[in-house]
Amino acid sequence: MKKKPYWEMRDLVTIGVFAAVTKVSSLLVALVGGGMNPISLMLKNLLFTTLTIVLLYKVRKFGVLTLFLLVNAIVAMLLMGSGMFLIPPMFVAGILAELIIVALGGYTKNINLMIGVGLYDLLFKVSAVGVSWLFVREQQELVIMSAIIVGIGYIGAVAGLFTGALFVKELRHACIIRS
Protein backbone atom coordinates (compact mmCIF):
# COMPACT_ATOMS: atom_id res chain seq x y z
CA MET A 1 0.00 0.00 0.00
CA LYS A 2 1.39 3.35 -1.04
CA LYS A 3 1.89 5.90 1.74
CA LYS A 4 0.05 9.16 1.21
CA PRO A 5 2.39 12.20 1.30
CA TYR A 6 1.85 14.76 4.06
CA TRP A 7 1.76 17.67 1.62
CA GLU A 8 -0.54 17.20 -1.33
CA MET A 9 0.10 19.25 -4.45
CA ARG A 10 -3.27 20.96 -4.01
CA ASP A 11 -2.26 22.16 -0.53
CA LEU A 12 1.09 23.51 -1.70
CA VAL A 13 -0.52 25.35 -4.61
CA THR A 14 -3.13 26.83 -2.26
CA ILE A 15 -0.41 28.04 0.11
CA GLY A 16 1.56 29.59 -2.76
CA VAL A 17 -1.48 31.30 -4.24
CA PHE A 18 -2.53 32.70 -0.86
CA ALA A 19 1.01 33.96 -0.20
CA ALA A 20 1.16 35.73 -3.55
CA VAL A 21 -2.34 37.21 -3.26
CA THR A 22 -1.66 38.36 0.30
CA LYS A 23 1.58 40.11 -0.59
CA VAL A 24 0.32 41.72 -3.80
CA SER A 25 -2.93 42.91 -2.20
CA SER A 26 -1.04 44.32 0.80
CA LEU A 27 1.28 46.16 -1.56
CA LEU A 28 -1.69 47.52 -3.52
CA VAL A 29 -3.37 48.74 -0.33
CA ALA A 30 -0.18 50.55 0.65
CA LEU A 31 0.15 52.12 -2.81
CA VAL A 32 -3.51 53.12 -3.19
CA GLY A 33 -3.66 54.33 0.41
CA GLY A 34 -0.90 56.84 -0.25
CA GLY A 35 1.83 55.08 1.68
CA MET A 36 1.89 53.72 5.18
CA ASN A 37 -0.58 56.00 6.93
CA PRO A 38 -2.58 54.60 9.87
CA ILE A 39 -5.66 53.72 7.79
CA SER A 40 -3.77 51.84 5.08
CA LEU A 41 -1.57 50.19 7.72
CA MET A 42 -4.61 48.84 9.56
CA LEU A 43 -6.26 47.81 6.29
CA LYS A 44 -3.11 46.03 5.11
CA ASN A 45 -2.86 44.05 8.34
CA LEU A 46 -6.60 43.34 8.31
CA LEU A 47 -6.29 41.93 4.80
CA PHE A 48 -3.23 39.82 5.66
CA THR A 49 -4.84 38.31 8.77
CA THR A 50 -8.15 37.71 7.01
CA LEU A 51 -6.46 35.78 4.20
CA THR A 52 -4.30 33.87 6.70
CA ILE A 53 -7.41 32.75 8.60
CA VAL A 54 -9.09 31.67 5.35
CA LEU A 55 -5.98 29.69 4.38
CA LEU A 56 -5.83 27.89 7.72
CA TYR A 57 -9.51 26.99 7.45
CA LYS A 58 -8.95 25.64 3.93
CA VAL A 59 -5.74 23.66 4.65
CA ARG A 60 -5.86 22.35 8.21
CA LYS A 61 -2.39 20.87 8.70
CA PHE A 62 0.54 21.50 10.99
CA GLY A 63 3.14 23.59 9.19
CA VAL A 64 0.75 25.48 6.91
CA LEU A 65 1.16 28.78 8.76
CA THR A 66 4.95 28.53 8.85
CA LEU A 67 5.22 27.51 5.20
CA PHE A 68 2.84 30.31 4.20
CA LEU A 69 4.91 32.84 6.16
CA LEU A 70 8.17 31.69 4.61
CA VAL A 71 6.75 31.86 1.08
CA ASN A 72 5.31 35.27 1.92
CA ALA A 73 8.71 36.46 3.17
CA ILE A 74 10.42 35.23 0.01
CA VAL A 75 7.84 37.02 -2.15
CA ALA A 76 8.38 40.18 -0.07
CA MET A 77 12.14 39.98 -0.59
CA LEU A 78 11.70 39.50 -4.33
CA LEU A 79 9.09 42.25 -4.69
CA MET A 80 10.46 44.87 -2.33
CA GLY A 81 13.97 43.76 -1.45
CA SER A 82 13.26 43.84 2.26
CA GLY A 83 12.36 41.57 5.11
CA MET A 84 15.60 39.59 5.38
CA PHE A 85 16.11 40.46 9.05
CA LEU A 86 12.49 39.71 9.89
CA ILE A 87 12.51 36.14 8.55
CA PRO A 88 13.96 34.51 11.71
CA PRO A 89 11.47 36.16 14.11
CA MET A 90 8.66 35.43 11.63
CA PHE A 91 9.67 31.77 11.49
CA VAL A 92 9.91 31.47 15.29
CA ALA A 93 6.55 33.22 15.80
CA GLY A 94 4.95 30.94 13.21
CA ILE A 95 6.29 27.76 14.83
CA LEU A 96 5.22 28.92 18.31
CA ALA A 97 1.75 29.80 17.03
CA GLU A 98 1.39 26.39 15.39
CA LEU A 99 2.53 24.64 18.57
CA ILE A 100 -0.09 26.60 20.53
CA ILE A 101 -2.76 25.55 18.01
CA VAL A 102 -1.74 21.90 18.50
CA ALA A 103 -1.61 22.29 22.30
CA LEU A 104 -5.12 23.77 22.34
CA GLY A 105 -6.56 20.79 20.51
CA GLY A 106 -5.42 20.96 16.92
CA TYR A 107 -6.65 22.38 13.67
CA THR A 108 -10.19 21.03 13.96
CA LYS A 109 -11.47 23.79 16.27
CA ASN A 110 -12.02 27.16 14.68
CA ILE A 111 -11.19 29.16 17.80
CA ASN A 112 -7.76 27.49 17.94
CA LEU A 113 -6.95 28.86 14.49
CA MET A 114 -7.98 32.37 15.51
CA ILE A 115 -5.95 32.19 18.73
CA GLY A 116 -2.93 30.85 16.83
CA VAL A 117 -3.00 33.55 14.16
CA GLY A 118 -3.61 36.25 16.77
CA LEU A 119 -0.68 34.95 18.80
CA TYR A 120 1.50 34.83 15.69
CA ASP A 121 0.66 38.45 14.89
CA LEU A 122 1.42 39.54 18.45
CA LEU A 123 4.72 37.63 18.69
CA PHE A 124 5.90 38.77 15.28
CA LYS A 125 5.00 42.40 15.86
CA VAL A 126 6.76 42.45 19.24
CA SER A 127 9.84 40.88 17.66
CA ALA A 128 9.66 43.42 14.80
CA VAL A 129 9.85 46.21 17.37
CA GLY A 130 12.82 44.37 18.89
CA VAL A 131 14.56 44.28 15.51
CA SER A 132 13.86 47.99 15.02
CA TRP A 133 15.39 48.65 18.45
CA LEU A 134 18.48 46.76 17.33
CA PHE A 135 18.91 49.05 14.32
CA VAL A 136 18.00 52.41 15.85
CA ARG A 137 18.90 52.03 19.52
CA GLU A 138 20.92 55.26 19.44
CA GLN A 139 17.70 57.20 18.85
CA GLN A 140 15.06 55.89 21.25
CA GLU A 141 12.42 58.20 19.77
CA LEU A 142 12.47 56.17 16.57
CA VAL A 143 11.87 52.96 18.51
CA ILE A 144 8.88 54.54 20.24
CA MET A 145 7.54 55.70 16.89
CA SER A 146 7.99 52.26 15.34
CA ALA A 147 6.23 50.68 18.34
CA ILE A 148 3.26 53.02 17.81
CA ILE A 149 3.15 52.17 14.11
CA VAL A 150 3.31 48.43 14.85
CA GLY A 151 0.57 48.84 17.48
CA ILE A 152 -1.70 50.54 14.96
CA GLY A 153 -1.05 47.69 12.55
CA TYR A 154 -1.93 45.15 15.24
CA ILE A 155 -5.36 46.75 15.63
CA GLY A 156 -5.99 45.87 11.99
CA ALA A 157 -4.67 42.35 12.56
CA VAL A 158 -7.08 41.77 15.46
CA ALA A 159 -9.96 43.00 13.31
CA GLY A 160 -8.75 40.63 10.58
CA LEU A 161 -9.32 37.65 12.88
CA PHE A 162 -13.04 38.37 12.93
CA THR A 163 -13.35 39.35 9.27
CA GLY A 164 -11.51 36.14 8.41
CA ALA A 165 -14.10 34.11 10.32
CA LEU A 166 -16.87 35.98 8.48
CA PHE A 167 -15.20 35.34 5.11
CA VAL A 168 -14.92 31.64 5.94
CA LYS A 169 -18.63 31.52 6.76
CA GLU A 170 -19.43 32.99 3.34
CA LEU A 171 -16.93 30.73 1.56
CA ARG A 172 -18.49 27.68 3.22
CA HIS A 173 -21.88 28.84 1.99
CA ALA A 174 -20.40 29.04 -1.52
CA CYS A 175 -18.85 25.53 -1.05
CA ILE A 176 -15.31 26.85 -1.56
CA ILE A 177 -14.28 25.73 1.93
CA ARG A 178 -15.72 22.33 2.82
CA SER A 179 -14.32 21.61 6.28
Check residue 131 and give its pLDDT. Answer: 85
pLDDT tens figures, 21-38: 998 898 889 888 877 788
Tell which phi-psi region holds residue 83, choosing left (phi > 0), alpha (psi between -120 and 50) or beta.
left
Query: Could you give the CA distance from residue 17 to residue 40 in angstroms, rounded to a whole number?
Result: 23
Reported confidence tier of residue 179, pLDDT bands at 50, 70, 90: low
Share of residues in the chain with pLDDT > 70 (%): 98
Kindly give, in sequence order, each residue whose CB lies less than 8 Å from that of residue 7, ignoring residues fewer than 6 positions away.
61
Which residues fall within 8 angstroms of residue 72, CB to CB, at 6 or more apart? 19, 22, 23
Q: Where exactly are the structural domains of the chain?
A: 9-173
The CATH label, of 1.20.120, 1.10.10, 1.10.1760, 1.10.3470, for the domain at 9-173 is: 1.10.1760
